Amino acid sequence: MNKAGIWIDKKEAKIVTIEKEKVRLLTIASNIEDFHVKGGSGTRLKGGPQDVVQDSKYLEREKHQMKEFFDDVIKHVAVADMIVITGPAQTGNKLFDVLEEKYISLAEKVIGVEKTDSMSDPQLLAWVKNYFTMHRHLHLL
Mean pLDDT of the chain: 86
Query: In the chain, what are the domains?
Result: 2-32+55-140 (3.30.420.60)
Reply yes or no on whether the pLDDT at 103 is more than 90: yes
Give dist(CA 50, CA 42) in Å, integer.
4
- Predicted confidence (pLDDT) per residue in 26-78, tens digit: 999 998 877 655 555 555 666 655 555 566 777 788 888 899 999 999 999 99
Please check whether residue 49 is in contact with residue 43, taking contact to mean a CB–CB distance below 8 angstroms: yes
Q: What was the pLDDT predicted at 53?
A: 55
Give the 3-state DSSP-derived string for 72-138, with helices as H, strands as E and coil as C: HHHHHHCCCCEEEEEECCCHHHHHHHHHHHHCHHHHCCEEEEEECCCCCHHHHHHHHHHHHHHCHHH
- Predicted confidence (pLDDT) per residue in 69-94, tens digit: 999 999 999 999 999 999 988 999 99
Q: Which residue has the higher pLDDT, 34 or 111?
A: 111
**Angle at Cα 66 formed by Cα 85 and Cα 16, nearest 5°?**
30
Q: Which residue has the higher pLDDT, 44 or 140?
A: 44
Please check whether residue 117 is in contact with residue 35, taking contact to mean a CB–CB distance below 8 angstroms: no
